[in-house]
């Protein structure tokens, strides 16, 4: 009965998608006006390819956004070194820009097709992947079903399952079993994630750690960093990273509290979504804050309260401007943000208490003394002030965090090892095809040994 309900639910999902398919143009155009779609490449969202499929084995990798794309970039580079064709799909304009800049030359990028039968069928008919790899928590029912119907192995890498998603899936066990049972393997970030995927029906789960830890220190132009530090001019700083709607007001209040003790304090604010920059700037202005935006190129001066990091791909720059980092989505929102990059650039970490999406990482940092959790703006201001005034405590937190993260590396090699049963046959096929191609270039009537001589 439960299985019948699950199949009926999936049929309804596909039917709704089929009905909605002809009417998606206005939605995509509206998203494009907000900078969330590339109209020149909108055909890719309907499954039309912008590349010719190359000969030989091909792996489809999908990463939703910038964070996921950067996390699996070392994995892409490792697979690319095997000379296996790769098509990477992403879902955002920002991630597409990052892909264009960072991908190995042979890797092809497309926008991910809509999770509708006509779009995904068109995509799969063209690319004919031998293996599909999805990053973190990308679950698209129609895509999963279509791949399963074609007997294409599906693997979830760097997989995580948030508390909210786990509760939602747990209420629909038959549907979860149908979806997660389609994955040949789930390569999970943590034991908690791994156990959740097992309970939801994944038949084969391996826990390897977080790929983001193996990405390395985020890049930044040293000259640009020095130029902005010169504008700051030795003022005390702290940075609020990846804030969400409503948290900027908390950052402003924290700044106000700090300013009563440190009159020349400079707050660096980097919203999670840079397209909210105008909204954030307006909100801070209404609170009496003097804001300088990175995107305008205006100079930071002695009257600047907040330096707004509203550009894409410059997190490495912003993180090098302070040694004290507060992680967003943790004070007024739930889930938290990944503290790995700030740790790698040498920051001591502060966060709200709602960090369940990265529970294992924060737990390790807490045990080592590399992070402190706060409950409100007053407590946040108190911790920032303490670290600004106590260099030894700041240095101890920085070292504890750095040592903890250094001990968590190795997920890339473990992921490659877990993928080997699926990738190795493709490597063998590449080798055989290459050898056959070399032999075809030779005169078939002449012994190969003589020709080589």
Smallest CA-to-CA distance from 192 within 169, 160, 167, 165 is with 160
CA 221: distance to chain centroid?
22
> Active site residue: 44, 68, 247, 314, which one?
68
- The Cα 112–Cα 95 span in angstroms is 11
Q: Is there a catalytic annotation at residue 68?
A: yes
How many CA atoms, within 13 angstroms, populate the side-chain half-sphere of residue 17? 19
Residue whose C-alpha is closest to residue 239's, from 266, 220, 217: 266
- Phi, psi torsion values for 292, nearest 5 degrees: -115, 125
Q: What is the Cβ-side half-sphere exposure of residue 377, based on CA atoms within 13 angstroms?
A: 14
Q: Which residues contact 28 (CB under 8 A, 6 or more apart)?
A: 37, 39, 42, 45
Please identify every residue annotated as catalytic.
68
């Amino acid at each position: 009965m439960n299985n019948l309900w699950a199949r009926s639910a999936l049929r309804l999902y596909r039917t709704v998608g089929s009905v909605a398919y002809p009417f998606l143009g206005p939605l995509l155009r509206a998203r494009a006006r907000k900078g969330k779609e590339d109209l020149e490449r909108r055909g890719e969202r309907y499954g039309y390819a912008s590349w010719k499929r190359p000969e030989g084995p091909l792996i489809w990798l999908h990463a939703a956004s910038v964070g996921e794309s950067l996390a699996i970039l070392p994995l892409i580079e490792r697979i690319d070194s095997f000379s296996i064709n790769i098509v990477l799909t992403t879902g955002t304009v920002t991630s597409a820009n990052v892909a264009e800049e960072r991908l190995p030359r042979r890797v092809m990028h497309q926008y991910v097709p809509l999770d509708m039968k006509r779009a995904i069928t068109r995509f799969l008919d063209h690319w004919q992947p031998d293996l599909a790899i999805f990053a973190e928590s990308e679950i698209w029912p129609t895509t999963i079903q279509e791949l399963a119907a074609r007997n294409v192995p599906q693997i979830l890498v760097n997989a995580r399952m948030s508390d909210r998603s786990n509760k939602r899936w747990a209420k629909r066990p038959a549907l979860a079993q149908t979806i997660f049972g389609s994955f040949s393997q789930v390569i999970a970030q943590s034991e908690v994630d791994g156990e959740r995927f097992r309970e939801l029906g994944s038949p084969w789960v391996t826990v390897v750690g977080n790929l983001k830890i193996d990405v390395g220190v985020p890049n930044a132009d040293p000259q640009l960093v020095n130029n902005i530090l010169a504008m700051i001019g030795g003022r005390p700083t702290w940075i609020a990273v990846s804030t969400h709607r409503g948290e900027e007001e908390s950052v402003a209040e924290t700044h106000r509290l700090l300013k009563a003790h440190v009159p020349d304090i400079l707050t660096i604010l980097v919203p999670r979504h840079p397209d909210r920059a105008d909204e954030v700037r307006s909100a801070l202005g209404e609170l009496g804050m003097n804001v300088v935006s990175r995107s305008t190129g205006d100079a930071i001066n002695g009257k600047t309260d907040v330096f707004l990091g509203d550009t894409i791909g410059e997190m490495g720059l912003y993180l090098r401007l302070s040694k004290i980092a507060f992680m967003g989505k943790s004070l007024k929102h739930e889930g938290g943000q990944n503290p790995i990059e700030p740790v790698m650039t040498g920051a001591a970490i502060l966060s709200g208490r709602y960090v369940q999406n990265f529970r294992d990482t924060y737990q390790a940092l807490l045990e080592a003394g590399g992070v402190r959790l706060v409950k409100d703006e007053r407590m946040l201001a108190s911790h920032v002030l303490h670290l600004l005034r106590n260099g030894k405590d700041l240095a101890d937190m920085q070292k504890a965090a750095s040592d903890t993260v250094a001990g968590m590396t190795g997920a890339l090699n473990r992921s490659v090892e877990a993928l080997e049963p699926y990738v190795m046959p493709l490597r063998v096929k590449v080798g055989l095809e290459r050898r056959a191609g070399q032999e075809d270039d030779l005169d078939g009537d002449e012994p190969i040994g003589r020709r080589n001589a």
